[in-house]
Amino acid sequence: MAATTAPPAPARAEPGAAPQEAEDRGTSRLLLVLGVVAVWILVWAFTKGQDTLTLSGRERTPVMDDLGAFRDSVLASRDSNPLIQLTYGVGEAFVAAIDWLQRMVSIPDFPRPVPQIGWLGVTAVATFVGYAIANWRIALLVLASFLSFGAFGYWSEAMDLLLVTFVAVGLSVVIGMPLAVLIAYRRRAETVFTNLLDLMQTMPTFVYLLPIVLFFGIGASTAVVCTLIYALPPLIRIAGHGIKSVSASTLEATDSAGQTFWQRLTKVQLPMARKTIVVGVNQTTMAALSMATIASFVDGPGLGKPVLSALVKSDVGGAVVPGLLIVLMAVMLDRATTAASERGELVARGHGPDPRVHRVVLGAGLVLAAVAVYVSRLYPWAAEFPGTPLRDTAASWSDATVAWFTDTFGGVAGGLADAVSYGLLNPMQALLAESPWWLAGSALVAISAVAGGVRAAVAALVCLGGLRFLGLWHDSMITLTMTLVATLMVMVLALVLGVWMARRSSVDLVLRPLLDMGQTIPPFVYLIPVLALFGPTRFTAIVAGVIYAAPAAIKLVADGVKGVSQGTLEASRSTGATTWQEITKVQLPMAKGSLVLAANQGLLYVLAMAVIGGMVGAGALGYDVVLGFSRSEEWGKGAAAGLSIVLLGIMLDRVMRAAAHHTH
């Protein structure tokens, strides 16, 4: 009886000791952070407005002049510099490849007044490929998508976007897969490339448009290069993770048979990581499509051009229709790549369609596709899509919908903007931007040290020193304020909607497609209705950043909370825990890693919108980048602003990661 009624005390105490100790450490760090902020506010009260390093008007620092001089020297040496000749040669190769593909499927190949393969032939071939690599459902989706491109009057632009996407994704696979293998096998290479990929993903696309235009010119070449830079990191990261995750026991078993490195890679690791690699290709494709509108700023072909043209004229319908076609294209490619991967697994397990029937259908489809190609070369109606009856109707409907939405919810939107601006944004900006630079810098380093330790403090010190050197300290603090406020709003949405999705499968079923659409729709498409609601203000930029960043954060929180085991939940319910206790005491703490990742990704996504925010009244670093892009004499200031955004992203990323590691 004694053994059953009096178990040893340590057995009960030990499991709770570590969580209690971690909670105490967290409380102590929070109190220290609040102490630092209190001292900061006290000193700010006596020093605000001093040494804020504000630049007036078109004022530039020597660093900005040096960057501008660098640009001028590059342009002056275009005909003699081997590097410039090399990059321009690569750019001309891209232009030639895209031009040849365009003349095949999207633009007239003079003296022929239409492309070599008309819309009927292209649609038939694409539908056949959809069936060949996946199934009949994907074939129907491809057919409907291609017909939509023509029916809404954007056939040529849609084909151009597909061509740029395929070229960029193809180059990403050629470049990214060897690098993925390298980081899977070499820890030092993984460290180096992780930092480089962080930089590529942190840097807003407008920032590297400046040097790309300088070295590649404008047009299709720059569109391909900037799309490649943005789309490459997901493939390297995800494919490298998949290759590295193949179990050691499997590798040891196959190595015992005397296989070579190449055999192990091609016969074991790549096949076993195929599903993960397909996810990487899928994410790279989505990233490439999201660059459609950005590429149009450098005269890149595709659906981004009508979106940008409509935005210049504040034409809501003209922007929404091609923007939604980009979303449709993203859904089509996403479902096709996923279904192709699943079909390969089904066939390998013997669960695919009957091989004889499949071969007959493939043969018949190939014949029909060939006939359609032949017909599209002979008859004008099959070469050029007939009419655009749906474009104007859809545009008018979009205009009316946005007008109704702004009229109905304009008052609520204004109240929300005032509440956030006066309650959170203005006080934070006053503290960050109106403090002397040395006070704000010291406080930020101290907070970083408390939250993440020495490594976080060093990262903050280096990045803040870089901001001081580049000469845009005041604008950087304003951008930092908007980024922190937007990230806070993103995490509120992520926690509420993510937990709801994790606990209700019906909610997940409804919201997940909307989140997928939110991740693929070009930011410029929803800028016009946001502008209509809030006007050209800082809050407009914050809302645009939230819309762009929230989908990824919400899905990460939902997947993390959903991953908490049912056994753990049942154990908590058996103790009489309420729903609120179950969420706050069990699910959220156990999904802590996903919450940290959601906050990290949300922050980086928000910062990536800084330049676009500068176009809608946010000012600060985003406006400086846009100014440098539009005026050659301000190129140096734009480059300094772009580098400042990168430093902010690196600092916030490193401090957040160190803080998350510091809590374990």
3-state secondary structure 358-409: HHHHHHHHHHHHHHHHHHHHHCHHHHCCCCCHHHHHHHHHHHHHHHHHHHHH
Give, in degrees to the nearest 5, the angle at Cα 429 between 428 and 434.
Answer: 115
Instruction: Say how far residue 69 (Cα) sits from the centre of its chain.
Output: 33
Q: What is the mean pLDDT of the chain?
A: 81
Model confidence at 107: pLDDT above 60: yes
Model confidence at 99: pLDDT above 70: yes
Model confidence at 13: pLDDT above 60: no
Model confidence at 452: pLDDT above 60: yes
Model confidence at 368: pLDDT above 90: yes
Least confident piece of the model among 2-6, 139-143, 493-497, 628-632: 2-6
Residue 12 has a pLDDT of 38
Residue 9 has a pLDDT of 38
Least confident piece of the model among 169-173, 251-255, 395-399: 251-255
Query: How many whole angstroms separate alpha carbon 650 and alpha carbon 198?
Result: 8
Mean pLDDT, residues 500-523 taken together:
79
Express each pLDDT in 177-227 by its tens digit.
888 888 888 878 777 777 777 677 667 677 777 788 878 877 788 888 888
Residue 121 has a pLDDT of 92
Tell me if domain 80-102+156-301 and domain 411-418+481-641 are identical in fold.
yes
pLDDT band with cut points at 50, 70 and 90 for residue 446? very high
Mean pLDDT, residues 470-499 taken together:
91
Contact (CB, 8 A) for 490 and 546: yes
pLDDT band with cut points at 50, 70 and 90 for residue 462? very high
Model confidence at 383: pLDDT above 90: no
Model confidence at 123: pLDDT above 90: yes
Mean pLDDT, residues 230-259 taken together:
76
Residue 25 has a pLDDT of 66
Model confidence at 246: pLDDT above 50: yes
Model confidence at 8: pLDDT above 50: no
CATH, domain range 80-102+156-301: 1.10.3720.10
Express each pLDDT in 344-367 by its tens digit.
666 556 566 667 777 888 899 899
* Highest mean pLDDT (candidates 15-24, 71-80, 433-442): 433-442
Mean pLDDT, residues 326-332 taken together:
85
- Give the largest CA-CA distance in the chain: 100
Query: How many whole angstroms separate alpha carbon 263 and alpha carbon 266?
Result: 5
Model confidence at 572: pLDDT above 80: no
The residue ranking higher by pLDDT, 24 or 4, is 24
Express each pLDDT in 275-297 by its tens digit.
778 878 877 887 787 777 777 77
Least confident piece of the model among 60-64, 387-391, 410-414, 630-634: 387-391
Query: How many whole angstroms separate alpha carbon 311 and alpha carbon 484?
Result: 28
Q: How many beta carbons lie within 10 A of that of residue 531, not counting itself?
A: 21
CA atoms within 13 A on the CB side of 187: 0
Contact (CB, 8 A) for 200 and 233: yes
Residue 588 has a pLDDT of 82
Mean pLDDT, residues 68-81 taken together:
79
Model confidence at 435: pLDDT above 90: yes
Residue 350 has a pLDDT of 58
Query: How many whole angstroms separate alpha carbon 108 and alpha carbon 228?
Result: 27
In the chain, where the domains are located? 80-102+156-301, 106-154+303-391, 411-418+481-641
Mean pLDDT, residues 365-384 taken together:
89
Task: Give the three-state DSSP class for 351.
Answer: coil
pLDDT band with cut points at 50, 70 and 90 for residue 11? very low
Residue 297 has a pLDDT of 76
- Report helix, strand and coil shares of the chain as percent, to nearest 5: 85, 0, 15
Residue 4 has a pLDDT of 36
Question: Under CATH, what is the fold of the domain 411-418+481-641?
Answer: MetI-like fold (1.10.3720)
Query: How many whole angstroms separate alpha carbon 123 and alpha carbon 507?
Result: 35
Residue 354 has a pLDDT of 67
Residue 467 has a pLDDT of 93
Query: How many whole angstroms separate alpha carbon 210 and alpha carbon 194?
Result: 24
Model confidence at 664: pLDDT above 80: no
pLDDT band with cut points at 50, 70 and 90 for residue 15? very low
Contact (CB, 8 A) for 339 and 197: no
Ordered DSSP codes for 24-37 = HHHHHHHHHHHHHH
